[in-house]
Amino acid sequence: MLIERAYVDLPEGEGTAEDGWPWTVPCVRQLADEGLVFRAPVTFLVGENGSGKSTLAEALAEGFGLDSYGGSAGYKYASPREVSPLGARMRFDPTREGRAMVRAPRVRRRGFFLRAETALEALSGECRWGRISRDPDDMSHGEGFLLAFRERFSQRGLYVLDEPEAALSFSSCLELIGLMDELASSGAQVICATHSPLLTALPGAEIVEVGEHGMRSVEWAELGVVDHWRRYLNDPRAYLRHVLAPG
């Protein structure tokens, strides 16, 4: 692991709910008040759309020096996007093993930020720089994701993923779980925002549920998404009768 805790460095009087988004989001308020402690090499952020999990993931990536558009640490090539207000204030308490990297200049940090919406453009940049072997434009969306996972998820660093399951099949998700486990064993750290009960079943990972309550650590079996998928697969009609027109 590289990071023990993430927190927000805010001058007194700034970052209050009166300042608007993102400071009105419950998980961001809790982060500003308490910080977020990492207890395992792989951490999953799970919550409904709009809960703030992607906002957290992006800010953690930005704070570490990863391209906010998506891509590798130490480079900015995909977008003129400014760092978000939260990302600009993000700070880390590193582990002993992570101290040299966290406190090093941006160009010496290692890792990758993959966000589903911009992944293909970011991966095309990786190809232009010679950091992946094939252009993702020549592959399916899922194949491009897997190429990045295989070829860029190899160094000890911080890997932040925002809903990587969006382009992946069931078997590809299983492959990603294996790669996450390898990264964790190598001393790297993974933070993944996801809706997937498949990914979050990785043994030894910490699951942080994000919502109106803020953030809390939960067990896999306690996740609402796990319960819903289990019941849906057992009896789809129990759910579909609420969304389909009669007849």
User: Mean of the pLDDT values across residues 144-166?
Assistant: 83
Say what the pLDDT of residue 137 is. 67
In the prediction, which pLDDT does 126 show? 64
Confidence tier at 140 by pLDDT (50, 70, 90):
confident
Question: Beta partners for 210?
Answer: 215
pLDDT of residue 77: 47
pLDDT tens per residue across span 67-109: 777 777 655 544 566 788 999 999 999 999 999 888 877 777 8
Which residue did the predictor score with more confidence, 131 or 55?
55
How much of the chain, in percent, has pLDDT values that exceed 70? 86
- What average pLDDT does this structure show over 161-184? 91
| pLDDT of 115 | 80
Mean pLDDT, residues 45-50: 94
**Cα 143 from Cα 138, distance rounded (Å):** 9
Find the length of the chain.
247
| pLDDT tens profile 198-241 | 999 999 999 999 999 999 999 999 999 999 999 999 999 999 99
* 163-183 burial: b if 16+ Cβ within 10 Å, else e: bbbbbbeeebbeebbebbbeb
Q: Is residue 155 predicted with pLDDT exceeding 90?
A: no
Give the C-alpha separation, 114 to 135, whole Å.
16
Average pLDDT of the chain, as a whole number: 86
Alpha carbons 21 and 88: distance in angstroms, whole number: 14
**Domain 3-240, CATH 1.10.1040.10 — does that match?**
no
pLDDT of amino acid 130: 58
For residue 141, pLDDT beyond 80: no
What's 81's DSSP letter? P
